[in-house]
Chain A
Amino acid sequence: MKNMTYKTIQNAITTGIILIFFEMIDLTSTLAIILEKLFTGNSKVKTVTPNYLIAVIGLIVFIAAAAFTNKNLTPASKISLPKKLTAGLIFGLITGGMLALLNIILGNFLNNGVDLRKYLEVLSPDVIRNFLFQKDIQSAVMIFFGTSVAGALAGTLVMHIFQVTGQPAGLWHSIKKSYGSFQQQQHSRRNQLISRSALVLLVIFILILPLIANAYTISVLGLVCIYAILGLGLNLIVGLSGQLVFGYVAFYAIGAYTFALLTAPKPLGIQLSFLPAFVIALVMSGIAGGLVGLPIMNLRGDYLAIVTLGFGEIIRILINSNNLTDFTGGPQGVKNIGQPGQPAFIGNLLGAPLKNNVWFLYLIFAVLFIVIYVVFRLQYSRTGRSWEAMREDETVAQACGVTTSSYKVLAVVIGAVIAGAAGAIYASRNTYTGPGEYVFMVSVNVLAIVVIGGMGSIPGVLLGAFIIKGIPELLRDLESYRMIVFGAMLVIMMVIRPEGLLPVKRRRLSVKPESVESLKENFKS
């Protein structure tokens, strides 16, 4: 029992600290605005309404108390309802007390005319007044205590009801169970049919999407697809062959710049058409991949990461260099990059030619599908298996006959070509490219796509690209908190599912064995 009290206090203090942190970065107000938007359907809300702020605080305490009850006051521990509610009360009082303390201090500063913006930019008088719900300190303190106690009690009670009835958890288990049995019978004809038709429907939906979506969605979708291509390329290097390559952005930059310089009127004035420039961009990034691959053939792990990290920075500094302005456009970048013309038959077929951004999105889809096909083929072949064996145990793979050095270079070259394709498409889409777009963060983002999706898994990379590039766009409302929310999501995901969201599944390969005689034949030849 003493242990339980201790745990209640500990959890309550943690919740209090999190809430104080949220207030100090003014995240609570943003959440309150989002909540109001959701409730009223009015998307033009700009200022905080105190009631919604109260609701946000109550909701956070509610969730924390429910989670605490779920974890510590389990049915197995046989704690009676009054005791649970007492724990909830203590929980609410402590969090409420911490919040109240913070706001008494802030309120007193406000009343004495101290400008806290000197110390923390967020804490303007308006914001602090919002914290106090536009009321005086005493009533604000009462509200804090009331909200958090009510939230905590409700959380404990709801979780208690859940535990007694066993409902949402039971439902969840039965869903999981039926999904599990579906997976187990995945090879039955009926289930294969279901999953195949689901896939076909998804593809059809994606193909129709550009026609009905607005310009913003199309632009986000294009970016997500370009990052998916990049992710598939890096997935080959990191996920399959297990080589930790950090400067992946370099190949992306080389593809983009080759394409840009070959098609733009300035600085080189070659102005090739789309297809030859695209092919040359692929070849150039492939060559770059080979050149990087050769010296790193015999490097492992950390050393490889450092060398490739350096390479990425070298390329960025080169294209940013003032001295090379005549060749690369320097810090200003390259403007008026060529775009592929739309073939006339599309216009004839549909009655009118597609809008430029829609046509370009289809082009990106086409490249993405080709890349998926190539990676899929490679992954489930002797090449892909050798890469995976290298990732598992390089020494043993070599002793089994895998020529590790050449497979390493092959992985880097193919990965580089894919990055080059993404770069060329990206430069063409934007008709402008500059050194600022090829920073180290791009490599980190792509690596995050691979890790979050699941190393070596193609559907994983597609989902990862959507999460890394798509969700931040959806989280626009949170604006400056995007990265915090995003970081928290990553941490939670890595704790819950370290193998990635859609980890790779092994294929069934076994066939009916023949007699020993055929094996003997094999060994004679």
Chain B
Amino acid sequence: MMMAKETLYVLEAQHITINFGGLTAVNDVSLQVPFESIISIIGPNGAGKTTFFNCISGFYQIDGGTVLFQERPINGIPTDEIADLGISRTYQNIRLFTNMSVMENVLIGQQPRLHSTCVDTILQTYRNRREEQQSIQKASNLLEFVGLSAYADDLAKNLPYGAQRRLEIARALGNNPHLLLLDEPCAGMNPHETAAMIDLIRTLRSDLKITVVLIEHDMKVVMNISDSILVLDHGEAIANGTPEEIQKNQRVIEAYLGTGTDDLVEKYSQRKKKAAQPIGEE
């Protein structure tokens, strides 16, 4: 694990391309994620952000390019092995194990770090009991960390919306990930909840040394916490840089507001000029 720290990037996506039938959903997108950074991916609806996530986390087989996780290619590896390597993710439409308790959800997240077999379980060996005890303790700690201790024994489906998002993060932390992919963590939250979520993401980095890549529509969140931002539009990367650079980037403004703006801006400024001219001076 210490070796891993010396590499420059925790994740390098190189020239990722994926086609669905005739549609190129993600076209030649590259992303480099340095250790302990927070990277945001933004873009209009249908830009291919979640598809890009699915490519990184092994949900989709990519048609071109490579994904390197700690300098190791991971394309084509099944998702359970990717979780084992230390990549976790959450989902845009919350996908919890709804009929299981909150604790059990977090315990499932620890699956790659547990080793007792079903024979151990049946015979109740010392190894099995110790491991079970430790994993339950760790799950309780994780719930405390995301602030859900009060809900620990409730059914996951009975949690309020914001708490469900936090639970997804707690579950994703179970395998001690190096990289956490958050798909719209603040979607549908009120400003208060959003602020709490920003704090949580910051502590993920500062306390647990986790690198975070997130997709988010809320520009306040994105500009607030990102070290750098990747902007996608129609499956292509149109900009990549710090929040300040992105805010000024002409192509990003076009992608979000449309190309008509140039003319509008010009007309508006000319009219302003005219209005400013003193009458009768022509």
Contacts and interface: CB of A to CB of B under 8 A. Distances in A.
Interface of A: 374, 377-378, 381-383, 385-386, 388-389, 392-393, 395-404, 410, 414, 506-514, 516, 518-520, 522-525
Interface stretch (B30-38, B169-177, B231-239, B248-256): B169-177
Contacts of B136: 509-511
Given A508-B153, A510-B153, A399 B100 contact: no
A396 B57 CA distance: 11
A511 B144 CA distance: 11
A499 to B, nearest CB: 10
A477 B121 CA distance: 46
Contacts of B279: none
B236 to A, nearest CB: 26
Contacts of B171: 400
14 contacts: A377-B122, A382-B111, A382-B114, A385-B100, A392-B100, A396-B97, A398-B80, A399-B79, A402-B108, A509-B104, A510-B136, A511-B136, A519-B138, A519-B142
Contact of B108 (A378, A386, A414, A516): A386
Given A401-B175, A513-B149, A523 B209 contact: yes
Interface in B139-170: 139-145, 149, 152-153, 155
Interface stretch (B9-17, B42-50, B83-91, B262-270): B83-91
A398 B89 CA distance: 12
A388 B58 CA distance: 22
Contacts of A511: 136-137, 140
B79 A388 contact: no
> Interface of chain B, helix or strand or loop or mixed?
helix
B80 A402 contact: yes
B109 A401 contact: yes
A409 B149 CA distance: 35
Given A378-B121, A513-B144, A401 B155 contact: no
Nearest to A376: B122
Closest 10 CB pairs of A and B: A510-B152, A513-B144, A401-B112, A401-B83, A401-B111, A392-B97, A381-B121, A509-B103, A506-B101, A399-B79
Contacts of A403: 80
Contacts of B108: 385-386, 389, 397, 400, 402
Contacts of B97: 388-389, 392-393, 396-397
A414 B59 CA distance: 29
A513 B142 CA distance: 8
A509 B104 CA distance: 8
Contact of A381 (B89, B118, B145): B118
A382 to B, nearest CB: 5
B116 interface: yes
Contacts of B152: 509-510
> Interface of chain A, helix or strand or loop or mixed?
helix
A239 to B, nearest CB: 12
A457 to B, nearest CB: 12
B100 A506 contact: yes
Contact of B128 (A381, A400, A510): A381
B83 A509 contact: no
B282 to A, nearest CB: 70
A18 to B, nearest CB: 37
B281 interface: no
B135 interface: yes
B98 interface: yes
Contacts of B82: 399
A382 B111 CA distance: 8
Interface string B93-128: 001011111011001110110101010011010001
B63 interface: no
A514 B141 CA distance: 6
B234 to A, nearest CB: 27
Given A382-B135, A400-B108, A523-B176, A410 B142 contact: no
A399 B83 contact: yes
A506 B57 CA distance: 31
Given A381-B128, A400-B83, A519-B208, A506 B107 contact: no
